[in-house]
Structure 1
Amino acid sequence: MNFVTATRFFAVFAILSVTVSHEEVIDDILSNLAKGALFLEIEHQNINLDGVVGYLILQAEFKEAIRTWPHTDPVSWAQRTSAVALVRRLDQSLEKAVSALAENDPKYYREFQPLLTWTFWGVPHEWSSTDASLAYYSTRAMECYDEQLSDKCMTLLLGTWKNNGTPCIVTKSCRDTMTRFGCPHYSLSHQLLYFMIGSMKGCSNMLKGDMRASRANLTEQDYQRIFCSNMMKSNQDIIKNGFTGQSQDIFIENILLCGLAGFSDFYKPDWLKHILSFQDQEMGCFGKDERVTSQIIEEELLVALQPQLRVKRREKTLRDGCSSHMTGVAVGALGGYLNFYLTEQDITKRPLS
């Protein structure tokens, strides 16, 4: 075997090894997503809006995966068949979940109705990477994100701020809040989500009216890169310091949103292992906390005895202790991994030398 032949042989062997490895990873992802789909089937009446949106993003990712699946061998074809079956199950469960949202919280449903279809969510076809040099020198200790203002800014983009409202409206307070640098955690991810929703809604000139000279040359895409570069640093810090409190949820949300924005360096194999380890293998959900289960039962009993004490909460810890929000973002993140690995697995897109 001469040098050129040997080089080609080892190149092909390396690609095939990667392919086999990716097929095994795809098997793991599909298995865990099947458990997540079963959880939705059981709990569709109780999943909150954030959780349903995560499942809808997963549905968009599944539809794209099936359309482009590189079914060139029996294993890959079998995996695609499993994905098709999962999509059919999700179609039925999501229809029921969206109907339940409309019934349980009609105002919130109306305001975010455009997000409640898988066709709204665009799946990336091109990839880029974050830039560590864009990380903030320091971040605020407290969130700079107000949920009411954020919701209002989103509805102004969606045109749901009133009946038959004009979409793509950007007020000064919204622009200032959504472009503020140094924000941590959920503020940061909601800033990114704001620009992603604007892009998917087709809003142009979201930065029109910004008179700051230092921001004159920044585009919507620049802001997304800045935010994801800082979300990358946030995830790296979480890995370094260990998962505590809400850090699991933030960690996965960053992967979901920045992966959906096309930043492939969020799809790290080690991070996938962390996500899979967070799933309750029996329930199929994420963020399960056994300690809160008895507390939830006590709260429900108290509400039944004294209905006037009922408190409405957007985020729901379900009766079995599962987190509605974390389950939604986790299945959406796993769908992102699926599409990314399928792209990597398709050796027809790779040069052999």
Structure 2
Amino acid sequence: MKEDEQSREYDSRKAEYHHLRIHQKCLVKQPFKLIIWLNTNNFRELIIVSFSNASVPNETSALLYETLASLKSALEFLYSEHKNINLDAVIGTRMVEGQLSVLIERIQEKSSNVPCDVSDKCWKKMTKPLYNGYSLTHELFYLEIGEQHGCHAEMELKRLTHNQESVAKLRETYCANILNEAALIAEQNFPEDRHDLFMEQAALCGMVGYRQFFSSDWLRKMLSWQNKAIGCYHGNPIREWEVEYRKPDLQGSKKLMHKNWKLPSMPPTAVQHVRHKREERILRDGCLSHRTAVAVAAQGQYIRYMLEYMAFQANP
């Protein structure tokens, strides 16, 4: 009987290993490597050795390790749920893996370039003005994906073709508006139904170095939302409207249509598009796939920022 159980366990582990190999390009391989980094003394020693001369407050070091522990816990949860998660979680883990890999590549003096092709249809759709909420963060994400894949020259050509501002200016405008929305969420004491969006905003603008998002108070809020026992994030599984709007004023600047971002009947001066309501994927114990993924991505940006700050203090 015991041999049968051992045989079944072996077959189960073999099947799981095969499944992981199939999915290694999208989730398991790189994030799992990241978990190993966070679990081993080598990764911590890398931080200590690289920044041993840094003059930083103990509070910063403590917050860094608290965030590392939180990130490790969330990644381990996503790893345990790799058969059930959706694309949202894959993207979140790839974002944090990419950011920390860049950090390590800089230390190891490595780099790579990937060619690309920018679709005219996608460019027009993903750079339309007057969006806010998730639609605005997704516009920024589109630009970041292009930059990460070496598409800067192609994107500049597209924006010239469509008589738009430079890619850097588009990104700056997006993050300025996103920061205003994030500050409003903070001002409203972080309503639960905005946790998901808030962490997505911090992740995406943090990725391009928008340092105004790197607030220790904001980070502590994010860490407090995690289920420490499991590693995931809970909440309302219904996300906000995928498409939200900005109404231009008479001077052409962009303002929020409504302080609480509820969509009234669309006025004739506002641009109208199809709206799609987004739903979360609920994992075990009521954990939310997208919310956990954006938390992981946001934590990755905060960790990168704190490490870069420590490096600067070590070598001013």
Report the TM range for the smaller structure's normalisation.
Answer: 0.5 to 0.7
2:166 to 211, 214, 219: 219
Match of 1:21 in 2: 59
Match of 2:132 in 1: 184
| Contact kept in structure 1, 2:202 and 2:213, CA below 8 Å | yes
Matches within 5 A, 1:196-235: 196-203=144-151, 204-206=153-155, 208=157, 215-216=163-164, 218-235=165-182
Match of 1:262 in 2: 209
Query: Is 2:286 aligned against 1:336?
Result: no
1:19 offset after TM fit, Å?
A: 3.8
TM-score after normalising by structure 1:
0.55
Match of 1:348 in 2: 314
Q: Aligned residues: percent identity? A: 30
d(CA) in 2 for partners of 1:34 and 1:268? 21
d(CA) in 2 for partners of 1:186 and 1:169? 22
Match of 1:168 in 2: 118
1:264 offset after TM fit, Å?
A: 1.7
| Contact kept in structure 1, 2:99 and 2:207, CA below 8 Å | no
Matches within 5 A, 1:222-301: 222-244=169-191, 246-288=193-235
Task: Give the 3-state SS of the residue equivalent to 1:287 in structure 2.
Answer: coil
Q: Which amino acid aligns with 2:168?
A: Q
Q: Which amino acid aligns with 2:140?
A: L
Match of 1:115 in 2: none
Q: Which amino acid aligns with 2:200?
A: E
Structural RMSD (CA): 3.1
1:349 offset after TM fit, Å?
A: 2.4
Match of 1:59 in 2: 97
d(CA) in 1 for partners of 2:105 and 2:157? 37
Deviations 1:227-284 (A, max 9, x none): 0000000000011123335311110000000111121221111110111011111110
d(CA) in 2 for partners of 1:289 and 1:121? 40
Task: Give the 3-state SS of the residue equivalent to 1:246 in structure 2.
Answer: helix
Taking a change above 3 Å as real, the CA distance of residues 177 and 242 of structure 1, as seen in their structure-2 partners, is: farther
Determine which structure has the larger helix proportion and give its number.
Answer: 1
Match of 1:195 in 2: 143
1:68 offset after TM fit, Å?
A: 6.1
Deviations 1:118-145 (A, max 9, x none): x9999xxxxxxxxxxxxxxxxxxxxxxx
d(CA) in 2 for partners of 1:221 and 1:249? 26
d(CA) in 2 for partners of 1:120 and 1:327? 29
d(CA) in 2 for partners of 1:286 and 1:242? 18
| Contact kept in structure 2, 1:57 and 1:121, CA below 8 Å | no
d(CA) in 1 for partners of 2:99 and 2:159? 34
d(CA) in 1 for partners of 2:92 and 2:64? 19
Deviations 1:56-94 (A, max 9, x none): 22222333445567xxxxxxxxxxxxxxxxxxxxxxxxx
d(CA) in 2 for partners of 1:330 and 1:230? 21
| Contact kept in structure 1, 2:120 and 2:158, CA below 8 Å | no
Determine which structure has the larger strand proportion and give its number.
Answer: 2
d(CA) in 2 for partners of 1:67 and 1:183? 35
Match of 2:85 in 1: 47
Matches within 5 A, 1:151-162: none
**May I ask how many residue pairs the two structures share in their alignment?**
219
Which stretches in structure 2 are left out of the alignment for 5+ residues? 1-53, 238-277
1:342 offset after TM fit, Å?
A: 0.8
d(CA) in 2 for partners of 1:229 and 1:249? 19
| Contact kept in structure 1, 2:175 and 2:205, CA below 8 Å | yes
1:324 to 289, 296, 303: 289
| Contact kept in structure 2, 1:256 and 1:336, CA below 8 Å | yes
d(CA) in 2 for partners of 1:211 and 1:26? 42
1:211 offset after TM fit, Å?
A: 7.5
Taking a change above 3 Å as real, the CA distance of residues 325 and 209 of structure 1, as seen in their structure-2 partners, is: closer
d(CA) in 1 for partners of 2:95 and 2:67? 15
Taking a change above 3 Å as real, the CA distance of residues 53 and 175 of structure 1, as seen in their structure-2 partners, is: closer
1:210 offset after TM fit, Å?
A: 5.6
Q: Which amino acid aligns with 1:206?
A: M
TM-score after normalising by structure 2:
0.61
| Contact kept in structure 2, 1:259 and 1:267, CA below 8 Å | yes
d(CA) in 2 for partners of 1:67 and 1:240? 38
